Structure 1
């Protein structure tokens, strides 16, 4: 009986959290007004994943990709945009712990955050389509939103970190056929933040994964992870490749923290990375 009550209270807390987010006045920008490229399903609302462990809201079956806009108070807005890609192994999106919660924190620092709902499950090409389109859409709308079109960054967690990496390295070629004038705009982010990024060492003999295309025009990168993360070899592989190509980056690896911690209290890595990131953001914009 006690276990059932705990489950009920946990479910109620999640519903209240979702209602709180939706109840606030937040704009939603849908990426594709017409046909969604590389998508066979019709547009529909996302479905909540049955797993709600650790009070994480996981959504999947995303066929109508969108950006949820989180605006800071006008008096502290710095005009800089950050597009956040939550993780979830490309199966689902951990939308609160690696999306909404991070966006609200960035708002307190003056950043405008856009939480990206990209294609899931198991549509990596569609996800890259969505990220490239999201950057173009934010750049297109920047002036009307009072934002700087030349200060747009991507930020991703786990699989979302892999997606942010692709956005930073593969911007010279569009991943989908252009459909309107927005698609003529550059999809290159001006900076990128990779939080415990996944799938970086899936090349031959655990080398850098294809199709990551390191080049001299890449934006500066911030990389954070921990050595006890099962994916930590990928962080080191990426850092070595970036150093070889003289691509600017800053990386912080802590001894402990694991994976998928977002910025919640009680995890040493979750409590530390915001401090490192704040200092890096000040550095690159000064």
Structure 2
């Protein structure tokens, strides 16, 4: 009974936050490329531990739009990729709560429900399509199409790095005029990223084609994070390629903390990230 009550409470909180979004965009107007399952809303898992809402079985990728309001709007948009090991999406911890933070800074946020579980190819297609769709409709939200970036957490950090380095790779057949636009993020933010060190000897994952055209990156991780090496190898690759990158590597914090209070890393990275964005996006 206690577990059922906890699940109902978490689901109610999820529904309340979900209702605050201003718009939901289905990324694919026709067939979802490579998807064999029927379209349906994402499934909320029964695991509500740590007050995290976990979505899975995403067959109909969507963007949930959180426009910045007020006089402090910057004209900058950020596509947010929650983490979850490419199995689930920690949609409130690394999605909606991040959108609220970005809104306070004057940025319009787009929370991406990319395909899971274990659909890494589909996830990259969704990320590329998300960048193009946001660019194609930038004027509707008062955004500069050249100032649309992406940020991700854990597996979402992996997806952000992939989108930022593979933007010239055609991963799907164009479906409309939006697909004539660039999928390159203006900047990338990797918060405790994972899976970037799959190369031999824990070097950079081979598919990540880092070069001088790779967009600027903000990277944050901690030494006690099992996936911490991902941040180090990505920053090293950016440095070697002559691409701008800022790395912060703290001693403690672990993994999967988002913006939640009580964790020093969670309290530090947003301050550093906000300052970095102000510097690189005039």
Asked whether the two chains share a fold, i.e. TM above 0.5, the reply is yes
1: CA distance between counterparts of 2:214 and 2:141?
Answer: 26
| Aligned partner of 2:233 among 237, 240, 245 | 237
Q: What is the SS of the residue equivalent to 1:68?
A: strand
TM-score (norm 2): 0.97
Q: 2:135 is matched with which residue?
A: 139
After the TM superposition, which of the residue ranges 237-246 and 138-147 deviates more from structure 2?
Answer: 237-246
Give the direction of change, closer, same or farther, for the CA distance of 1:161–1:25 in structure 2 (3 Å limit). Answer: closer
Deviation sequence 1:134-178 (CA, Å, 0-9, x none): 000000000122111010000000000000001111111221121
1:110 lines up with 2:106 in the alignment: yes
Q: 2:264 is matched with which residue?
A: 268
Uncovered stretches (5+) of structure 2, i.e. residues with no partner: none
1: CA distance between counterparts of 2:14 and 2:227?
Answer: 30
Q: What is the SS of the residue equivalent to 2:150?
A: strand
| Aligned partner of 1:22 among 7, 15, 18 | 18
After the TM superposition, which of the residue ranges 25-34 and 129-138 deviates more from structure 2?
Answer: 25-34
Query: Is the Cα–Cα contact under 8 Å of residues 132 and 174 in structure 1 kept in the other structure?
Result: no
Query: Is the Cα–Cα contact under 8 Å of residues 7 and 47 in structure 2 kept in the other structure?
Result: no
1:198 lines up with 2:194 in the alignment: yes
Cα offset for 1:25? 5.0
Q: What is the SS of the residue equivalent to 2:248?
A: strand
Cα offset for 1:8? 4.5
Query: Is the Cα–Cα contact under 8 Å of residues 161 and 198 in structure 1 kept in the other structure?
Result: yes
Q: 1:174 is matched with which residue?
A: 170
Q: What is the SS of the residue equivalent to 1:251?
A: strand
1: CA distance between counterparts of 2:263 and 2:279?
Answer: 26
Cα offset for 1:183? 1.0
Aligned CA-pair RMSD = 1.2
Q: 1:186 is matched with which residue?
A: 182
| Aligned partner of 1:83 among 72, 79, 84 | 79
After the TM superposition, which of the residue ranges 64-73 and 125-134 deviates more from structure 2?
Answer: 64-73
Q: What is the SS of the residue equivalent to 1:75?
A: coil
Cα offset for 1:11? 2.4
| Deviant stretches of 4+, over 2 Å | 7-13, 22-25
Q: 1:95 is matched with which residue?
A: 91
Give the direction of change, closer, same or farther, for the CA distance of 1:129–1:25 in structure 2 (3 Å limit). Answer: closer
Q: What is the SS of the residue equivalent to 1:256?
A: coil
Uncovered stretches (5+) of structure 1, i.e. residues with no partner: none
Query: Is the Cα–Cα contact under 8 Å of residues 80 and 148 in structure 1 kept in the other structure?
Result: yes
TM-score (norm 1): 0.96
Q: 1:227 is matched with which residue?
A: 223
2: CA distance between counterparts of 1:226 and 1:211?
Answer: 24
Query: Is the Cα–Cα contact under 8 Å of residues 83 and 157 in structure 2 kept in the other structure?
Result: yes
